[in-house]
Amino acid sequence: MSMRPGRIFQFGEFQIDALTRTLRREEAIVKLNSRAFDVLLYLVQNPGKVIARDELLKNVWRDACVDESSLAQNISLLRRALEEKPGDNSYIVTLPGRGYQFVSEVQVVASQVVASEETLPEVATAGRSNSSGLIFQKHTVETSVITTNEEKEQLSSPISKSRPLIGMLTAVAAVVVTVVAVVLVVRFRTPRSPEPKHELVERQLTANPPENSISSQAISRDGKYLAYSDFLSKNLYLLAIDSGEIRRLPLPARYVPVDWFPDGNHLLLVNAAGDLWKMSTWDSGLRKLWADHVTDVALSPDGSHIAFLKDEGEGWLMGADGEEPHKILADDAQEALRSVAWSPTGQRLAYIRFQGPFAKRRVTLETCDLTGGARTVVLSDPYLFGWPTETGIAWLPDGRIIYLIYSKEKENESNLWAIGADPSTGQRRGDAALLAGWKNSLVWLPRASGDGKRLIAARQHVEEPIYLGDLTFGNKRFTPQRFTPDDWYNAADDWTKDSKGILFHSKRNGKWAIFKQNIDAKAPETLIAGSENYFDPRLSAQGTLLYSATAFPNNYEPGDTTIRLMSTPEQGGARSTLMTGKHNYACGSSPSSSCVVSDLKDRQLIFSHLDPVKGKGEEIARLGYHQANPAWDLSPDGSRIAIVDETEDKGEIHILNLADRKFTVLTVRDWKWSYLSRVRWAADGKSWFVFAQGPLLSLLSVDANGTPRVLQEMPWMGYFPYIAPSPDGKRIAFTKRMFVSDVMLLENF
C-alpha cells in the first residue's frame, strides 16, 4: 500500500485535512460521511495510481464485510461533493475492470507532526493507523506546567526526587489554585460570546444511478440506520448513516420499507400487491400482517399498533401483529385520504384529506383520535401535496407536524414546512414555519427518528440529456453516449441536412431557446433566442427553419393563445409568422420533399401541406382519433405519414399515403408492450423508430415486416420524449428523461 505522508492536501479548489477529517472548498466545509471521507483520503494519498476496487475495499472497509455497491455509492457521493458533472473527470476517473484513479495534482500543504519525548507541546499529535489502514492524526490534549530551566533541573535532580511527598503536593496545589484563579478571572471578565446559531444541516444519503432510483425509504427510531429499496432489484438495503456502510438483503420479491419497529430489528414492508409484511433484519424472515391493498402506513411510537390507509379512502387501525383490524375513517366518493402519522404520545393520528374535483380541490391537514373522532383541522392549503399527489407528514416529539407544499408555478418548487399541533388534542399551536426548500425538485415522504432530531425525505429531480447512438452497430450491442453533458432540459428535435449537427430546444436562464450543436463540438450555438420562448425546430429540405414561439413560460400552457408557427432561413434572416395556434409539423429530408402541418378540431386530425415561406396550403386528409393529439411523422421523401395512437393498447403503426389518401396498418410483431407514443421514420423510408411503454420503457427499431428490435430500455420512471434519426441513417439522437430520486437527511431543523 502506497501512502503519501501529510496532514493537509490541496487539489483544485479543495483541501482535505486528515487531522480534523474535513473537506473544504475555499472556506466552506463540504459535507461527507465518514466512509466517503476515508475513500477520498485514500485516493488523495495515492494520486495518479490506479487503485483496484479490492484494494479500496480492503483498506477502507477492513473490519466490515460489504459488497462493491458500497464503494460505488461512496464514489458517486464524492463526485457530487467535488461537483463533477457527467463526462467530467477532473478528479476521479473510473477505469472499467481496473478500478479508480485520482488524476488531479495533489500538494501537501501541511506535513505530519510527531511529538518527541524531548518536547512538551500543549497539543501532542501522533500518527496512527485506523481500522481501514489509512494514516490519520491522533489528537490528544494534555495539561502541562511550563517551568524555567532552573526548575527543570531541580525537578530532574536526585535532590528533588528525595523531597518529602507533602512538599510536592503543596507545590501542585499552588499551581492548581493559580490556574483556577486565572480561569475564573477570564470566565467572568471576558464578555460571553453569543450562543452559536444552529443552521440547518442537509446531507444526501443515497446516490443511485438514474436508471435505478430509490423507490421507498424509512429511518430507524434511533436515527442510525436507513432502510431503502430501488426500482429494479428485489433487494432491501440497510445503510449505517454515520459510517456509510451498506448491508444488502436479497428478498424473494419486491418489497418496500415503510417504517421501523422500535426494537430496531424488524421492518414494516409493503409488497407490489399492497400487502403489509413484517421482516426481521437478522435473517430476512417475512410474515404477512395484512392481505389487502394499503397506500400509506405508520407504526405507533411504542410499536403496539399500525395505522394504515386502504384504497386512499379508508383509515384503519390494527395491532402490531395484524390483530383486530378495524376501520376508523370512512371513505367518501368526493374525498380521498393520503399519508398518515402518529402523534408523539400515540393518542392521535394526522392525515391529509382531499375533497372535491382536482381543479377545485380542498386539501386539509387533519387529526383525529384513535376511534376516528374528535377531528381537528390544523391547516388548509390546495398545495398541501406534491405533484401529482405525492405527499407525506411526520409528527415530531416537540409537537411540530412536518408537511410538504409543492408549487409547479414556482419552477417546480418543493418546500418542507412545520406547524405546531397539541399531541393530545390536535389543536393548532402557533404559525407555520419554513424548514427547507428545493427548486426544480419534488420532495415527499418526510420521516423522522424517534427523538425528532433527524428527518429524511425523498427528493426527485429530472434529468433530460440528449444521447447519441451509432446505428451501424450490426450484431453488437447498441451503446449510445451522452451528447449534452449539462443538466438543462434538452429536447432532440432534428438534424442538419449534412447529418453533422443536432437541432434541439432547451430551457436555460429561464427561457426556452433553439440551439444547434455539431456532433464533434463540446458546446452548442444559439439559433433562436429572445424575450419569448422558442421550441420544436424542424428543418425543411430547402434550408428553412420552422419553429414555434410563445410569450408564455411553458411551451404548452393550457389556454395559451400566443403560440405562433414561425420560419426563418437556417443561416439567419428575417422571421415570419406562418400560423397561430398549437400545431404539429414535419418536413421530409430528401431534396424534393415538402412539409406537412396538422390541426386538431372536434377530435379530428387535419393534415395540410405547409409551405415554409407562404404558410398553410391545401388540405390533405381528416382523420378521427381517440387521442387528443396522436404522434406522427413525415417520411423522408414526403409521400407518407406514420401515425401512432397511445390510447390503443396495441402495437400498430398507421401509414397514410398522401397520393391516394389510402391507409395501411403495420402491426408490430411479438407485441409485449402496452402502447406506442412516439414515431419517427428512419432514413431508408422503410423502417421506423418508436417509443413503446410497458413493464419497461423501450426505444424500438421496427422494420418493414413489423419486427421490433429493442435499442434501449429503462424503468417506468423514465421516458423517451424526443427521437431524431439522422438523414444519412448512421446515427440517432434521443432525449432520455430520467427521474432521479435520492434520500436527503436534515438535522438542526
- At 111-161, the pLDDT tens digits run 654 433 333 333 333 333 333 333 333 333 232 333 333 333 333 333 333
C-alpha cell at 81: 461533493
- Percent of the chain past pLDDT 70, that is, above it, reads 81
Using alpha carbons, select from 559, 605, 554 the residue that is nearest to residue 583.
605
| CATH 2.130.10.10 in the chain, residue ranges | 292-460
Residue 128 is predicted with a pLDDT of 33
Residue 628 is predicted with a pLDDT of 61
| CATH 1.10.10.10 in the chain, residue ranges | 8-136
Kindly report the average pLDDT of the chain as a whole number: 82
Task: Tell me: pLDDT of 187 over 50.
Answer: no
- Tens of pLDDT, residue by residue over 539-576, are 999 899 999 999 887 766 767 888 999 999 988 788 89
What sign does the CA torsion over 491, 492, 496, 499 have?
Answer: positive
Which own/partner pairs from 117-126 qualify as long-range (CB within 8 Å, at least 24 positions apart)?
Answer: 120/144, 120/146, 125/19
Question: What residues pair up with 518 in beta bridges, in sequence order?
Answer: 501
| CATH 2.40.10.500 in the chain, residue ranges | 204-291
Q: Which CATH class is domain 204-291?
A: mainly beta
Contact 432, 419 (CB under 8 A): yes
- Single pTM value for the model: 0.65
Q: Which CATH class is domain 8-136?
A: mainly alpha
Residue 341 is predicted with a pLDDT of 96
Give the Cα separation of 464 and 443 in Å (integer): 19
The 3-class secondary structure across 451-500, one letter per residue, is: CCCEEEEEEEEEECCEEEEECCCCCCCCCCEECCCCCCEEEEEEECCCCC
Contact 458, 205 (CB under 8 A): no
The answer to whether the bond into 423 is cis (omega within 30° of 0) is no
Q: Who contacts 254 (Cβ-Cβ below 8 Å, separation ≥6)? A: 229, 234, 271, 272
Task: Tell me: pLDDT of 359 over 80.
Answer: no
C-alpha cell at 101: 484513479
- Tens of pLDDT, residue by residue over 7-19, are 788 988 899 988 8
How open is the CA angle 413-419-423, to the nearest 5 degrees? 140
pLDDT interval class at 33 (50, 70, 90): confident
| CATH 2.120.10.30 in the chain, residue ranges | 463-740
C-alpha cell at 708: 421490433
Residue 5 is predicted with a pLDDT of 56
| Host H or E run for residue 199 | none
Tell me, which fold does domain 292-460 have in CATH? Methylamine Dehydrogenase; Chain H (2.130.10)
Tell me, which fold does domain 463-740 have in CATH? Neuraminidase (2.120.10)
Place of cell 444541516: 201
DSSP conformation class of 197: P
DSSP conformation class of 388: S
- Tens of pLDDT, residue by residue over 390-430, are 688 999 999 999 999 887 666 678 889 999 999 999 999 99
Residue 193 is predicted with a pLDDT of 41
Residue 306 is predicted with a pLDDT of 97
